[in-house]
Amino acid sequence: MATQVSCKKQVPELKIVQSLAFLAVVLQSALSYTIKQPAVAPEQGVLIGMFFNLAKFSAPAFIFIVGFTLIYHHEKQVRYQSYIFEKVAELIVPYLFWSLIYLTMNHQLHMGEAVQAILLGSAAPHMWYVVMMFQIHLLFPVLFALFHWFRRRVNTRVALYKMLLVFGLLYAGLMWFSAHYVFNGTVLTHTNWLLYTDRTFLFYSFYFVMGGIAAAALPAWRKFVFRHVPVNTFVFLTLFFMVSYELFSFDGLHDIHLQVSTYLKPSMFLYTTSEILLMYALAMTIVHSRTFLYKLLQFVGRFTYGAYLAHLFFLPAGVKLLAVLGVPANSLLYALLLFSLTAVLSIGTISLLTLVPFAGAITGPTAKLKLNLSALSVWPVKMKKQL
Q: For the chain, what percent of residues have pLDDT higher than 70?
A: 87
Burial environment of residue 67 by CB neighbours within 10 A (0 to 12, 13 to 18, 19 or more): buried
Of the candidates 51, 33, 140, 44, the residue with the CA atom closest to the CA atom of residue 91: 140
Angle, vertex CA 332, rays to CA 327 and CA 338, nearest 5: 55
Helix, strand, coil abundance in the chain, percent, nearest 5: 75, 0, 20
Q: Name the phi and psi angles at 132, rounded to 5.
A: -70, -45
- Reported as a single tens digit per residue, the pLDDT across 328-341 is 998 999 999 999 99
Mean pLDDT in residue range 282-287 = 96
Average pLDDT over residues 209-233: 90
Whole-number mean pLDDT of the chain? Answer: 86
User: What is the reported pLDDT for 378?
Assistant: 42
* pLDDT-based confidence at residue 155 (cuts at 50, 70, 90): low
CA 184/CA 359 separation, integer angstroms = 42
Is the pLDDT at 36 greater than 50, yes or no? yes
Q: What percent of the chain has pLDDT over 90?
A: 59
Assign 76 to helix, strand or coil.
strand
Q: Is 33 helix (H, G, I), strand (E, B) or coil?
A: helix
The answer, yes or no, to whether residue 372 has pLDDT greater than 50, is yes
- Report the predicted TM-score, pTM, of the whole model to 2 decimal places: 0.89
The answer to whether 207 touches 60, Cβ cutoff 8 Å, is yes
